[in-house]
Structure 1
Amino acid sequence: MSPTRKKLIIDTDPGIDDAMAILTAMNSEEVEVIGLTTVFGNVYTDTATKNAFKILEVAGKSQIPVAEGAHDTFAGIKKDWVPDFVHGDDGFGNMNFPEVQGVKYPGSAADFLIETVAGQPGEVVVLALGPLTNVALAMQKDPAFAENVGELVILGGAFFVNGNVNPATEANFFGDPEAADFVLSQPAKTRIVGLDITHSCTFTGPELTGLHGKGRFGTFLSSITAFYLKYHRDSYDMDAVYVHDPAALAVVLRPSLFTWRTGQIRVLTESVARGMSVMDTGLKRWNRPHAWTDRPRVQVAVAVNAKAVTEMLLQRMAL
């Protein structure tokens, strides 16, 4: 193993594009996946855990630990719906694969995050692909977690573009706005990739169907993405899918492919724009303190070499 290989925990709600990201990570020499933590989002949490076991089986990595996470939001709200029209009832495009038996980590996802990061301070990257509930709970339970984590890479937000749940809000921040706002108040080394980037990156229909028969994972990915492609055709009138979760992984693999802006962020927790992410980009010296003033500055991706990102991801998905 390369001494510079990053240790990676993926906090995930699989989900078709989560599966793409996780399996791509398995084919990436830059990272060693040391755990999966599951959360609600694309599916309910118990389904997310089952799907994590399935992904690890496909990858031949069933020894990687899976820690089941929160079933309710950071504010204690019960999750009562999932976007089955995007990912299917099972999260894998209604393929209804046989259930894989796996062994769960005995504690919660937050416990796993705290324990793993504390044991290797500064060395573990957490890639958060779903609502930030597990990360928020870890930060709440262990105030040292934010400073111990090597880097926190978040898929979430829509900063200078419309959302995808409604015009204001991106799905992960909409799923748990209180968690997102809390996490972005903490002093972690944080990078965020939102819809500003992921709507710039696409996999075309022919590229997805072309994965069939390629490498270790290609047929699995080609099968589950058919449903996802149909959703994009119906909702966006495009023969392609937006690259959300894999683009966030690309931040871990090749951050130089992205252009960054630094600022302080609030996530709205009430109003018609609940879940909206608003960044103070620092272009003005304010005369009076405001709700952003004491926030840590984080990096938000504002541009991307989309061709390089999608070519890298597709190549690794087909290995």
Structure 2
Amino acid sequence: MKKFTSLCGCLLLTMCLGMTALTPPMSAEAAEREKVILDADMVDLFDDGVAMMMLAESPKMDLKGVTIVIGNTWVETGTASVIRQLEGIGRTDIPVYMGVNKTTRKGRFANMKEEKRLFGRGFDSHLGAAGYAQPASWTAEYRNNYLDEPVMRPQKQAAADFIIDTVKKHPGEVTIVAIGSAANLAAALDKAPEIAPLAKRVVYMAGAFFCEGNVMPTSEFNVWIDPETAKKVYRAPWKEQIFLPLDVCSKELMSNADFKDLESRIKSDRFKAMWESHYATPLFRNDPNYNNYIWDVLAAAVAIDPTVILESETLPIDVDDRYGFGYGQTMAFHGFGPEGAQNAKIVYKVDRAKIWKMVEDVFNKL
């Protein structure tokens, strides 16, 4: 009996060794990749699309999923856009989740014209989803915008639930890059407020702290579109919050020379068509002095490599969600902030050369 037991032990050891040989251990590089969720009001290429592709293509990042929220676009348009671009770079393995498709304040879009009349308006006339009718479906948007049939499909799970599940599954390890309105994160916090201290950090492209707004005199678009959710999210007890606000975004321009250089790198018909239909393309072509911004790209770059931050300040911050002149204004306090305000790192200056190299690396693969 002892001999039989010994034989069984040898056979078991041999089988285990064989299985180990068939299943090599995860490489150190793969194990160290940063887990990230991108929460975006997606558009083609600049700026949300490029930010997404930077995260998807970086060897440092493990993009667990892309959640789509209202903002620049309706969720239907954003979903079609993210799917088209992921298909184009061969990353159909990255799941897409549809999220919140409305603002907190009822009648928000219908009253925007009157709001601008009463409270003033900024230099940017951008209205995002408020500027066009809600599409019938994401598939209708895909077919209409790309004259093709999608290969991918979004997941059935809601965006907020995916965020909750992912953060809880990997406590202390998930970076959330939030480059749209705050509605998805607010929905996740409403369901599971305990996720805030479990996330590693949140990196936002949002706000205008010590500079003028863009769509309103004091407000930046991603906050102004739904200030109530922004206030709720920014006041949550996250371990770390990093903001790429207009204070830095307004300094980082894409020149006509940058435009032409990137255009020359695109090889695929899919992305050439996106480039041609981008709103900024005729502006660059018709005016050699025209510049544009790269907003969301900065948030993706900071998530990939925090050393691109050259100048920043950590202060308590808050959002004005009272309907009036300051609706959607982000504030930072050099003294004590109001009760409930959380600390956040506000970025003022970034390493342009490092960030632009990341952008070029993306375009070299298009």
Is structure 2 residue 220 aligned with structure 1 residue 170? yes
Is structure 2 residue 84 aligned with structure 1 residue 38? no
Q: 2:289 and 2:217 mapped to 1: Cα distance?
A: 19
Deviations 1:169-228 (A, max 9, x none): 111001110111111111112111111111111222332333346367797168437634
Q: 1:86 and 1:8 mapped to 2: Cα distance?
A: 30
5+ unaligned residues in a row in structure 1: which ranges? Answer: none
Deviations 1:63-92 (A, max 9, x none): 2111100011245666669437999x9999
Is structure 2 residue 65 aligned with structure 1 residue 13? no
SS of corresponding position for 1:140: helix
Count of aligned residue pairs for this structure pair: 309
Is structure 2 residue 326 aligned with structure 1 residue 273? yes
Structure 2 CA distance for partners of 1:55 and 1:219, relative to 1, 3 Å: closer
Following superposition, the deviation at residue 137 of structure 1 comes to 0.9
CA RMSD of aligned residues (A): 3.1
Q: Which amino acid aligns with 2:316?
A: Q
Task: After superposing the two structures, state which structure 1 stretch, 215-224 or 4-13, moved more.
Answer: 215-224
Following superposition, the deviation at residue 167 of structure 1 comes to 1.8
Q: 1:313 and 1:46 mapped to 2: Cα distance?
A: 26
Q: Is contact 1:24-1:317 (8 Å) kept?
A: no
Structure 2 CA distance for partners of 1:308 and 1:99, relative to 1, 3 Å: same
SS of corresponding position for 2:185: helix
1:204 aligned to which of 255, 264, 267: 255
Structure 2 CA distance for partners of 1:316 and 1:63, relative to 1, 3 Å: closer
Following superposition, the deviation at residue 133 of structure 1 comes to 0.3
Q: 1:228 and 1:245 mapped to 2: Cα distance?
A: 16
Q: Is contact 1:66-1:105 (8 Å) kept?
A: yes
Instruction: Write the mapping of 1:45-56 to structure 2, written as runs, cut at 5 A.
Output: 45-56=75-86
Is structure 2 residue 302 aligned with structure 1 residue 254? no
Q: What is aligned with 2:231?
A: 181
Deviations 1:240-296 (A, max 9, x none): 2201111111110222221221111111112122111011133xxx6xxx6x23322
* Greater fraction helix: 2
Structure 2 CA distance for partners of 1:296 and 1:142, relative to 1, 3 Å: same
Task: After superposing the two structures, state which structure 1 stretch, 216-225 or 173-182, moved more.
Answer: 216-225
TM-score by length of 1: 0.86
Structure 2 CA distance for partners of 1:238 and 1:111, relative to 1, 3 Å: farther
SS of corresponding position for 1:144: helix
Is structure 2 residue 103 aligned with structure 1 residue 73? yes
Instruction: Write the mapping of 1:80-159 to structure 2, written as runs, cut at 5 A.
Output: 82-83=127-128, 96-159=146-209
The higher radius of gyration belongs to 2
Structure 2 CA distance for partners of 1:225 and 1:246, relative to 1, 3 Å: farther
SS of corresponding position for 1:54: helix
Structure 2 CA distance for partners of 1:272 and 1:41, relative to 1, 3 Å: same
Q: What is aligned with 1:220?
A: 271
1:2 aligned to which of 30, 33, 54: 30
Q: Which amino acid aligns with 1:143?
A: P
Q: Which amino acid aligns with 1:195?
A: L
TM-score by length of 2: 0.75
SS of corresponding position for 2:278: helix
